[in-house]
Structure formats: C-alpha cells, structure tokens
C-alpha cells in the first residue's frame, strides 16, 4: 500500500522505519521470535529496523521520502547469513548492500535530525531473542548455528511505524516498484 499516514495521536512519539520482509522469511523469523523471545516482553512481530527514532517533525516529509525511494528502487536482494550475538540475545544477521544503500540515501536526507543510534552504518538483523541471561543466548546460538541455513530473499518495501507506549502502530508500507538497483 502506498499511503500517507494520518498525523500521530501523540505528536512527540518517534517514527520507526523498517525494511519489509517477504512472507516466508517473516514466517521463519517470527516463529523463532515467538519461540525464544521472553513472552512478557515480546510485543512486536519480527522486523528489520532501519531507523529507531526519527523526529516527529518529519511527519509530512518522511512518507514522501519513503514513497520516492520505493518508487525509484527495485526490491533489494538480501540474505540471512548467520547469527548475530547480542550479548543477552540472538539475532539473524542480514546482509544487503542494496538495503544499506537505501538506508544511506534516507540517512543523508535527514542526517541533521538523526539520533546517535541512527547515525552511521547499521548491521541489519532480525532480533529473535533479547534481554535473556548470557548462557541462554549462547545456548540458542549453538542450536541455531548448527541448523540455520543461509537464505536469499528480496525485501518487499519500506514500513513506517510510530512508537506507542507498549507497541508500534503501523502507518504505512511502500512497496518497491522501481528499476534502479541499489
């Protein structure tokens, strides 16, 4: 869907931008997340965060930029290429030069407004477990490391969300439909 979000109900809530996963990859990752993320804190479905906290003042400009990028770029190729150790958690490591280029484009557009967490290069990943004892994380990494096979896919679009007190509210998804390869 190509949509301009309605103004958020809480004007000071930050925006989150995600790289949208195809159905089969989402199903795999979300299944792992439901199985291994502490249930009392698992309020989100599996996702790849590109930006964690974009300024509320970007409410009008941000959807236009997401639409521009989705219209300009073809779906970027990607791969699950192993695991990422989060210390007290585990993530699926995603490699995608194309999505990194799209992220860099969006970052350049809003650089002066980025938080420290959103500046610089980001390791793309899908968190499947977080805020667990180190031993628990290492045990999952051992099991998944022995069974997880590399998987190729293409991101399907860019998602925009707003942070609510207990969850993210989706404001729109812009599907890739361009010709340019990032």
Q: How confident is the model over 8-47, as pLDDT tens digits?
A: 444 578 999 999 999 999 999 999 999 999 888 888 899 9
Span 15-79+98-129+154-175: which CATH code? 3.90.1140.10
Answer whether residue 177 shows pLDDT above 60: yes
Mean of the pLDDT values across residues 104-128? 92
Answer whether residue 4 shows pLDDT above 70: no
pTM greater than the 0.75 cutoff: yes
**Quick one: pLDDT at residue 182?**
62
Torsion sign over Cα 157, 158, 160, 166: positive
**Quick one: pLDDT at residue 9?**
47
Alpha-carbon gap, residue 129 to 136, rounded angstroms: 9
Mean of the pLDDT values across residues 157-177? 91
Torsion sign over Cα 81, 83, 84, 90: positive
Query: Domain boundaries in the chain?
Result: 15-79+98-129+154-175
**Quick one: pLDDT at residue 165?**
75
- Give the range among 3-17, 101-115, 144-158 with minimum mean pLDDT: 3-17
Dump pLDDT digits (tens) for 49-91: 999 999 999 999 999 999 999 999 999 999 999 999 999 999 9
CB atoms under 10 Å from CB of 79, counted, come to 15
């Amino acid at each position: 869907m190509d949509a301009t979000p309605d103004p958020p109900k809480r004007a000071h809530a930050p925006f989150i931008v995600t790289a949208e996963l195809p159905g089969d990859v989402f199903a795999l990752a979300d299944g792992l997340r439901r199985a291994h993320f502490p249930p009392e804190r698992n309020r989100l479905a599996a996702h790849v965060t590109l930006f964690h906290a974009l300024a509320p003042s970007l409410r009008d400009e941000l959807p236009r930029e997401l639409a521009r990028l989705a219209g300009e770029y073809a779906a970027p190729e990607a791969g699950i290429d192993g695991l990422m150790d989060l210390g007290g958690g585990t993530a699926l490591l995603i490699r995608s030069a194309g999505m990194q280029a799209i992220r860099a484009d969006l970052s350049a557009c809003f650089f002066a407004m980025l938080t420290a967490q959103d500046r610089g290069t980001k390791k793309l990943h899908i968190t499947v477990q977080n805020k667990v004892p180190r031993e628990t994380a290492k045990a999952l990494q051992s099991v998944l490391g022995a069974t997880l096979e590399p998987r190729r896919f293409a991101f399907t679009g860019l998602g925009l969300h707003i942070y609510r007190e207990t969850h993210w509210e989706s404001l729109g998804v812009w599907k890739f439909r361009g010709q340019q390869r990032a």
